[in-house]
Structure 1
């Protein structure tokens, strides 16, 4: 019997939604703290993730919708950021570095923010109608600082 409601219940074949899922390294790197901060400041958040740029490992994720799985999209986000960094290096602009990428969809905004130490990529998706972009950008900057300055 195919009952759509049952597929959305935790433990019945799908990962739980609206829950921060963190790796063992998420606490020591500040990734879990960054995600908790994003959730506190942007409660209407659809999806968020913290990715280690060197290894490509997804350190912490959060999703509210089944079609927004950050761990599936992470390799594509990293590839996009790396391509933009390579383009910038090819143009010879070493004094500037890539800070963030904004992807606009008809109803959503996806924001990719590279921490200033370039070790972590923070990603989020929000409904365009629910959040001010300037506010989301500032919250992302502050969350990125948590990944840099958190030491345990």
Structure 2
């Protein structure tokens, strides 16, 4: 599943194992239910850049292709925060705005994984997308913690 070549379109694929599997699947199913027009979503391991679960609305959006670079962004931002004099802040979310798309990364509890979401600006309100991510991850926290 590393590059997700030939990944089924509009189908949730879960590769995670262990106790977190059910929670990760619930998070993505909730995101899909709340944002049915999204372009792609995934849960990604920060350390390895591996997709633990993902969904793409079309073949152009491959969560596996962006997972590694997005994980590197998160690692670099953690390094940056560690280098700042005020180390009390924690990374919560990264937003990349493009002309017609918004890509959001929101860290899961313990900062070991993040939820990735790509939406079309014409179809999805940014505030709604951010709230869906936040509330979905709150529920995940109660499932595992």
Residue 82 of structure 1 and its aligned partner are, at CA, apart by 0.8
* 1:10 equivalent in structure 2: none
The CA deviation at 1:50 is: 0.3
Partner Cα separation in structure 1 for residue 16 and residue 70 of structure 2: 22
Larger radius of gyration: 1
Residue number in structure 2 paired with 1:104: 97
What residue in structure 1 maps to residue 67 of structure 2? 74
Distance 1:79 1:73, change over 3 A: same
Gaps of 5+ in 1: 1-12
- The structural deviation recorded for 1:72 is 1.4
Report what 1:4 is aligned to. none
| Residue 45 in structure 1 maps to residue 38 in structure 2 | yes
State how far apart, in whole Å, the 2-side matches of 1:33 and 1:39 are: 10
The one-character-per-residue Cα deviations of 1:28-82 (angstroms, maximum 9, x if unpaired) are: 3411111001001111111000012244331100001212100111010000011
Instruction: Give structure 1 regions of 4+ aligned residues with deviation exceeding 3 angstroms.
Output: none
Aligned partner of 1:122 in structure 2 is 115
Going from structure 1 to structure 2, the CA distance change for 1:107 and 1:101 (only over 3 Å counts) comes to same
Specify which of 7, 11, 14 is matched with residue 15 of structure 1.
Answer: 7
Deviation at 1:147, TM superposition (A): 3.3
Instruction: Tell me by how many angstroms 1:98 deviates.
Output: 0.7
The CA RMSD over aligned residues, in Å, is: 1.8
Indicate the residue corresponding to 1:139 in structure 2. 132
Query: How many residues were matched structurally?
Result: 139
Deviates more, 1:115-124 or 1:142-151: 142-151
Contact 1:44 1:126 in 2 (8 A): yes
What is the CA deviation profile of residues 93-136 of structure 1, one whole-angstrom value per residue up to 9, with x for unaligned ones? 32111111111111111011112421220001001011111111
Q: TM-score, normalised to structure 2's length?
A: 0.87
